[in-house]
Every structure is written in C-alpha cells, then in structure tokens.
Amino acid sequence: MEHIPNFNELIEKSIKEHWNLDALTDYKGVTLQYHDVARKIEKLHIMFESSGVKRGDKIALCGRNSAGWASAFLATLTYGAVAVPILHEFTADQIHNIVNHSGAKLLFAGDVVSTQVDPTKMPDIEGIIYIPDYSLLFSRSDKLTFAREHLNEMFGKKYPKYFRQEHVSYYREQSPEEMALINYTSGTTGFSKGVMIPYRAIWSNFDFACHVMGDHVNKGDNVLSILPMAHMYGMSFEFIYEFLRGCHIFYLTRVPSPAIIAKAFAEVKPVVIIAVPLVIEKIIKKKVFPIIQNNRMRLLLNMPVVNKKVRQTIRDQVVKSFGGNFFEVIIGGAAFNQEVESFLHRIEFPYTVGYGATECAPIICYADYREFVPGSCGKVAIHNEIRIASSDPQNIPGEILVRGLNVMLGYYKNEEATRQTIDKDGWYHTGDLGVMDTEGNVFIKGRSKYMLLGANGQNIYPEEIEDKLNSMTLVNESIVIQEEDKLVGLVHPDLDEAHALGFTNSDLENIMEQNRKELNNMLPAYSKISSIRLQQEEFEKTPKKSIKRFLYLTKSFI
C-alpha cells in the first residue's frame, strides 16, 4: 500500500506556506487570511481542551457555508476530534436525531439553525456554539462556560508576544484508517445513514484532485463555493482541495439562486466551477437558450459556412456567464439533462460530468473535458478500481462496484447496513446500475432501487424517460412512477412561462397530452407513459437536489 501523508500535517503546511494570503471570504462580507484562520483554530483548540473535549470526541457543525463554518471544521480535525457536518436544510428533528445518533459533544450552529434547534431534544450535548462569532448559546458544562468567558485571556497568556507561524502545530497521531468525519447521507429513502469517512479517503480525494486539476489551480486563485460543505462533493472539491492549495475561497452564505450565482461568477471569476446539474441547467435555460432559440440564430447555426463561427460566439457568451476565467466546469451529484448536455457538447464548452457517492468521499469516476465522452461519467478515479456486476458489462447493465482508498469504513453504529453495502472482498455496492465500454468509460443507467419492472419483466429505468420528458415544452421537472402495470408521468410545469403566455390549467393539460404523445413516439412499447399529471408545487428535494421519489409513490396530485 502506498504511503499516505498525515492529513493534519497537510493543513498545517498550507497555513504556514500561505500565511499572508486571503483564504476564506463570506461574499460581500468578511475576509480571513490564512493566519486569521490559524488564530481561530488555535482559540477553538484552547476552548476544546479547557472544556474537556478528548481526541476522538464528535463535534457537529450545522449552518450555511461560511468562513466561520470552515474554520470550525478545520479546528475539529486538527484537534484530533471527529467532525459531524450536518446539512443546514435538514429539519430541526433531523438535526436533533443526527446529533444524538453521532453522540456529538458540541454543536456549532449557524445563524438560522441556532433559532431552530432545541437543546432539550439533544440531552447529551455539552454546548451549542454560534458559528458567526463562536459565542456560547447554550452550555451544560461549567468548564465550557468558563473557557468561553476567559478565552481571550487564555490565548493571551499562551502567546504573550503574538501568534506566529511557528506556533502552528496540529495533532499528528492519527492513522490513515482513523475516522475523520461522519457524514449523514441525505439519501432519497427517508432514512439517513452515518457514513464513516477515514483520513485515507479524504487524502485520496485530495490527491485525485491534484492529479486532475494541479496544473490549473494554484495558490491565490479564486474559487466560488456553491455546494454545501456538509456534503462530501462540496467539502472535497470546493473547500479541502482549494484550502490545501492556497486558494481564496468565496462563500455565497445565502440561497444560491441563478441570478445571485451568475453575479458572483462575474465578480469572483473562479478558476474552476464545481456544480450540480440543476445550477448549470437553470443558468443555460434562463440566460442562454432565450438568446439562441430565435429563428435568425437557428438559421445561422444550421448553415455550415457560418456554423463554426456562430458556435464560437455562443460558447464565448456562455463562458462569460460563468466568469470567463475557469478551465473546466465539473458537474456531478445527479443526472444531467440531455438537451443541455448536447448543447454544451455542440458548442465545445469545457464541461465534464463526474460520478461519486458520499461513501467514497465522494469521487468514483471522472474524465477531463478533453477526454470526456458525452453521456458517460468518466473513468474510475486514481487509487480505486471499479467493476460492473454483469455477465456482459459492455451491454447489459449491472450494479457498479468500487474498491480502493476512497471507500468508507462503514455506517456508524449500523453493522448490518455496512455488511449489506461492503462485501467481504472490500467492494462497495453503489446501488447504481451501469455499463462500461472497452476504454473504461462508465455510463449510468439508473439506480437499481429506481428500476421498474415492465408487465413482461422488462427493466424500465425511469430516469431515462424523465430526461426526455424534462426537455419537452413547459416541463420544469418530472418523475415517472408505476401504478399497477401503467407508467404515469408527474410533471411540475414551468409556471412562470405558462403565466407569461397567458395559459390556463386546461391549456397546460393539452400541452402535456401533446408532450406525452411525442414522448411515447420515442419509447419502446413497454415503457410508454399512460398519462401525465400536473403538480403545481416543485418536487421536494434532498440537499443534493435529487427528488425525494419515495414521497410521490402514494401521493395524490392535482
């Protein structure tokens, strides 16, 4: 097995090397330089130690992305404690459950979360710390209360002159197999599992990013953090990698609407863009498609003589709408809309689609945009191997299995779920179905648990039907469900567009019926849709922006 560096040593090295560079900025707010982050870490370490936090104790963090959240996370790891990042979009009950299940001793809570959580529902917690200024919101420990009240005094005693680079020294005794954090999956099953991520998996994802982005991402470069850091995709590729490289990370700190994101892209000019499909699709559909979908533009695009030049002009416009300074847009987290993907491919836009899972911290597959095969999700990442459990992996979809440094230790306090997911040979069973071509490119065909069985035993992958349906007139998003032996499409229409055009509900139903006929012309007999039902509200989603399907299997629709 190859040598895996001590992870806290890498954090220490980055802080010392980039001491006077900008590190973390709350967009339109405060900027911390690397030495400011070191100072915050040191103060939190004094507080942890004085209040009796031991190595291996759990510390939960729940709040929107911010410089304060990131500093508290780094303080937890470098102290030798185990971080429990919790998505701030979870309900108060879910947050209480995760804090209790993980056995967290402390909870760092963001501005909104701090008003939602109830300490009486978390009987074992010793204190709640307010992320914006690390003030103590609640304490069951005299030691903790005393430590917080006298923190500046204690810090001044320890560093009477001033706090310098040589004072930065972090806990080094952890092994690569030791647990760094517990990440509770959002999941679409309604039940959250605590994924135990070891240090080797975090390092392996960092090393992977160095291999694929190393020439493009350098110290002092800007990055915009859009994805929640409490999710492994945002944590690994918008925070940890960039922090260790000496980048300047900007946090949006509020709900990232397409308008806010587009404005931030223009100002920050990030060097790489990490996103989920929804963000890219919304910007393309709202900002780009209206410009190019007029008759004159269509005509020019179909004329071979001017086609290339027009494509380049469009590409330049799209690149500009993402800040104009990035080498690549990396998309992951969910399936990409085929209409948007084929458009980006056609204009030779530098994008790629990766594939991962929380259980792999998160990367499983990736290919650089120059080698990326449209429709795929790249090839297996460095330090790992992949296998398709099928008699004919190139043609017959089988479950995607992964083995290597990225794979989790298992699920916290849930040995049965661990046994069901990681087999005796160390293969992690993803629950995703795919095929793999001779070059090693992986093509995902759906979740095995989302596979529907046709009347004659055919496998139906609802996501493939939804992808086609999502590209049709006035369809904003959709899911396909099975009722007895019939398939039904549930559609949340583009109501803004419909209202702008003066359409009634009856008009919308007629349009959807037309969509259904067109869709069925593209589908084999066994996967044709019998009806489309409109849903006025957006579908409920996990923080990863995938629809919570289980909620819609027995729900009545308008």
pLDDT single digits (tens) 341-381: 888 888 899 999 899 999 999 999 999 999 999 889 999 99
- Crossing angle of helices 7-17/34-50, nearest 10°? 130
- Crossing angle of helices 505-521/462-469, nearest 10°? 120
Report the candidate in 493, 551, 466 with the shortest Cα–Cα distance to residue 189. 551
What is the C-alpha separation between 4 and 130, in angstroms, rounded?
35
Buried b (16+ CB within 10 A) or exposed e, 242-269: bbbbbbbbbbbbeebebeebbebbeebe
Low-confidence spans in the chain with pLDDT less than 50: 187-190, 554-558
- Crossing angle of helices 34-50/151-158, nearest 10°? 110
Residue 233: partners with Cβ closer than 8 Å, 6 or more residues away: 227, 274, 276, 332, 333, 356, 362, 544
- What tokens were used for 205? 């994802």
- At 457 the pLDDT is 64
- At 187 the pLDDT is 32
Residue 164: partners with Cβ closer than 8 Å, 6 or more residues away: none
- What tokens were used for 363? 């990367």
- At 152 the pLDDT is 95
Segment holding 389, helix H or strand E: strand 384-389
Do 76 and 240 contact (CB within 8 A), yes or no?
no
Do 490 and 549 contact (CB within 8 A), yes or no?
no
- At 276 the pLDDT is 81
- What tokens were used for 407? 């794979």
- What tokens were used for 187? 């999941």
- At 124 the pLDDT is 97
pTM: 0.85
- At 189 the pLDDT is 34
